[in-house]
Amino acid sequence: MSVLRMLLVFTFAAFWSCQSAALEQNVTAVSRDGNTLVLTTDKGQVRIRFYTTEAVEVYYQPTGVNQLDSFAINADAGNLPLKLAMVNTGHAVRFSSADLRVQIDKSPLKIRFIKDGKTLLSENAGLQIGQGQRGFSFDLQPQEKLMGTGQRVLGMNRRGFKLPLYNKASYGYTTKAEQMYYSVPAVLSSNKYLLLFDNVAKGEADLGSTEKDVLRFSAVDGRTAYLVVSGDDTPEIIENYTAVTGRQPLPPRWAFGNFASRFGYRNQQEVLDTIEKFKTSRFPVDAVILDLYWFGPDIKGHMGNLAWYKESFPDPEGMITKLDQQGVNTILITEPFILTSSKRWQEAVDAGAITPGKDGKPQTFDFYFGNTGLISIFDPKARDWFWNIYRGLKKQGVAGWWGDLGEPEVHPVDIQHPIGSGEAVHNAYGHRWAQMVYENALKDSPHERPFNMMRAGFAGTQRYGMMPWTGDVSREWGGLKPQVELSLQMSLLGLAYTHSDLGGFAGGEKFDPELYIRWLQYGVFQPVYRPHAQDHIPSEPVFHDAKTQDILRPYVNLRYRLLPYNYSLAYQNSLTGMPLMRPLFFSDEPNPALIDNAQTYYWGDAFLVTPVTAPGVTSMPVNLPAGIWFDYSNGKRIEGGRIAEIPVTLETIPVLVKAGAFIPMADDMDNTRQYDSGKLQLHYYADTTVKAANGVMYDDDGKDPNALKSGRYEKLDFNAKQNGKRMD
C-alpha cells in the first residue's frame, strides 16, 4: 500500500470516528406491539418490525433527530399479523419468526440477524451519528461477495469499493462507471441476505474499502433505518424484498413491442414518414417516442413549454390518431425543469410549482438547456399543476410517458423542498415523480395500464410501473459490454425492466454496422426493445442498408413471436419479483464464482443468452450450466456443465435453450394489437435426460390494470413426462 493510500484510509477512518461516532445506547425498557418490538433506550427509541417472516426493519429514532417517512417500503406491506416470539432476559432480547431471529444485546445495544443457527449479519457499531453524517456499520465475513448499489459498471462483485449514493448523469460511459443515474443503497450478499439502508439523502456505501471486513452506509441527513431480508436462495430473497418494497405491475402488452425512437423527430411529417418506413420495410412497430422537439424548434431555451410546437406539429391530435389507427402508440418526453425562457415559466411560478431557495422565492440556476427552475415534486400543489399538463396531453391521445433528467440532473444543495434540502431528498426525486405519474394515470384512466419510462428513482420505485434505462451510453463496443451487468444488478433489487438504448446513444461519428447489429440482437432478450440515439446516425433499422435490415428483421420478428413467452415472464415478475433477466449463478448458487459472470444470463428459465460484445468474433465461450442445451439457431444438442465454444456468424449470437423448456410463441405480426393467442405455437425441447417438465403461459387483454386481482385472465399449464421412448 502506498503512503498516499494509507493516508487516505487513515483520514476517512478518522473522519468517521470523529464526526460520526457510534451512538452507544443502553436498553431501558422493552415492549411489543403486534409485529413490532419497541426498545426504549437512554438515547431514544429503536423499533424492530417484521414485515414478513424473512424481512425485518430496524428503525433508530434518537431523541431530537429529525426523520423522514420511508420511501422504500410499500404502504400496504406488513399489515397481516405474524406468528412471532419474544424472549426478554436480563441481558438480551430475542425477537423471532419461524425463519429469522433478531438477537439484541441490551447494554450496549447491538443487533444480530440469525437464520438456521448461523449469523447472517451483525451490526458493527450500531447507529453512528455526528456532525454532517449518520449511518450504520456491519461486520462482513471473509469470503462474502456483495452485489447491488444500483447502476454501476464495476463487475458483479462490488466488495472493496467505496461508492457515492447520489443519482447523477453519466454521459458517454463505457466499461467503468462508479456513479450513474440510479443508485440504490442496498447490497445483496452471497451469504443469503439483502440489506437496504432506507435513506434518500446524499450518501456513501463503503463496501469493505476502508476496512475490508466492515460494511458502512452513511448519509448527510435523513432516515436512520435499515431493512434486512433473508431467504433460502436469491430468487426467494428477491421475492421477500419485493413483498415489502412493492412489485412491478404488469405493463401494457404493447410495451414488449418494437419502439421507434431517436433524439429526435423534428416535425410531424418526419414522425409519420418514419412509421411508414417501418411498414414498407416490413418491420413491426408498436410505439414512437418524441424527444425534445415536440415542444420546441431546437435543443435549448424551450424546456418547460410542455405544449406542442405548432410550427413543426400543426395537427398533433390528427397525427396521434393516424398513428393509433396503424397500431402505433405515441410517447412523449417530459422533464422536471421549467426554463425561465419557457412559455410556462410565469404560470408555474404563479401556481407555486417551482422549488424555492432559502429566501422562499423560486430558485433559478443555469444548466445545459438554459436558466431554469425545478418543479417542486414533493409539494402536492406543484404535482397537481404538473399532472394537469399530462392530463391535457393524455386527452389528445398520448399513450405513455418518458421522464428524463429525473436524478434531477442539476439539483442545487441549497434548494428547499417542503420535506428537506436538495441533498436530504435528492435520491427520492425521481421516485416521487414516478409515483405522481403512475397514480394519477390510473386515477384518470382506471382501465388502462400506465407506461412510464424514467432513468432515476429509489428502492421500491418499481411499484409505480417505472421502466428504467441505463442512460446516455457511448455508441461504441465499450458501451455495449456493461449492459448485461447493469440490467442484472438492477433486477436483483426489484427493478426488472432496466434496459439500454439499443445501438448506443452518445457519440459515434461513423456508423458501425457490426456494433449496431450485435446490440439489436441482444435487445431481443432484454426487457424493452428500444433503439435510441443521437440522430446524426439513425437509430431505427429501417434507415440502414439492405444487409443490416435483412439480418435484423428476423430478430425483431422473433421479439414479436416470443410475445406469449415474454408476457408470461412479466406475469411471474408481477407475482414474485422474479427478474426477466437472471444471472448465471441462479442455476448453481453454491458456486460463488458464477456471481462474477456478467457475460451470460438467463432470459426467463428457458433461454441462455451471451451477447457478442467485440468485433470480428467467430465463436464465443459460454459457461453452460449442467444439463442438456440446444443451440437455438440450428438445434444442435450440447452437453452442459462446462465452458463450451459456440460458433457465431454476423447473423447469430449464442442463444441456447434448456432441455425440457416450454416456449409458447405467436405468429408474425405488424404490432401487438394483432396478437392472437388462438394461434399459439408451443415448442417443447425434449431430451431423454429430462424425465418430466412443466411450464406456464399467462394471457389477458394486455390493458386491464386489475386483470390479476379480478381473475380476468387465462393461464395455461404445460406438462411433459417421458414414458419409455414416448413423450406424453
Which residues are annotated as catalytic? 404, 407, 472
Is residue 532 within 8 Å of 540, Cβ to Cβ?
A: no
CA distance 336 to 403: 8
- φ, ψ for residue 249, nearest 5 deg: -70, 155
Q: Which amino acid is at 220?
A: V
Strand partners, 417: 420
The three state secondary structure string of 579-604 is: CCEEEHHHHCCCCHHHHHCCCCEEEC
DSSP state of 159: T
CA distance 223 to 130: 14
Question: Cell for 552?
Answer: 435484423
Decide: residue 360, CB within 10 A, 0-12 exposed, 13-18 middle, 19+ buried. exposed
CA 16 vs CA 11, 20, 135, 217: distances in Å = 9, 5, 10, 11
Question: Cell for 668?
Answer: 408474425
Q: How many other β-carbons are positioned within 10 Å of the β-carbon of residue 634?
A: 8
Question: Cell for 377?
Answer: 415534486
Order of strands, sheet of 193-197, starting from the edge strand that comes earlier in the sequence: 27-33, 36-41, 44-52, 55-62, 225-230, 193-197, 183-189, 146-150
- Using the Cα atoms of residue 520, residue 524, residue 525 and residue 531 in order, give the sign of their dihedral: positive
The three state secondary structure string of 301-342 is: CCCCCCCCCCCCCCCHHHHHHHHHHCCCEEEEEECCEEECCC
Is residue 389 within 8 Å of 164, Cβ to Cβ?
A: no
CA distance 58 to 100: 14
Question: Cell for 447?
Answer: 382501465
The three state secondary structure string of 500-543 is: CCECCCECCCCCCHHHHHHHHHHHCCCCCECECCECCCCCCHHH
Tell me which H or E stretch contains 38.
strand 36-41
Decide: residue 311, CB within 10 A, 0-12 exposed, 13-18 middle, 19+ buried. exposed
Q: Which of 176, 196, 675, 246 is nearest to 435 (CA)?
A: 246
Is residue 688 within 8 Å of 722, Cβ to Cβ?
A: yes
Report helix, strand or coil for 643: strand
Q: How many other β-carbons are positioned within 10 Å of the β-carbon of residue 499?
A: 22
CA distance 67 to 591: 41
Is residue 302 within 8 Å of 295, Cβ to Cβ?
A: yes
Report helix, strand or coil for 444: helix
The CA-based angle 403-407-411, given to 5 degrees, is 120
CA distance 267 to 309: 9
- Using the Cα atoms of residue 556, residue 449, residue 180 and residue 364 in order, give the sign of their dihedral: positive
CA distance 307 to 291: 13
CA distance 699 to 715: 6
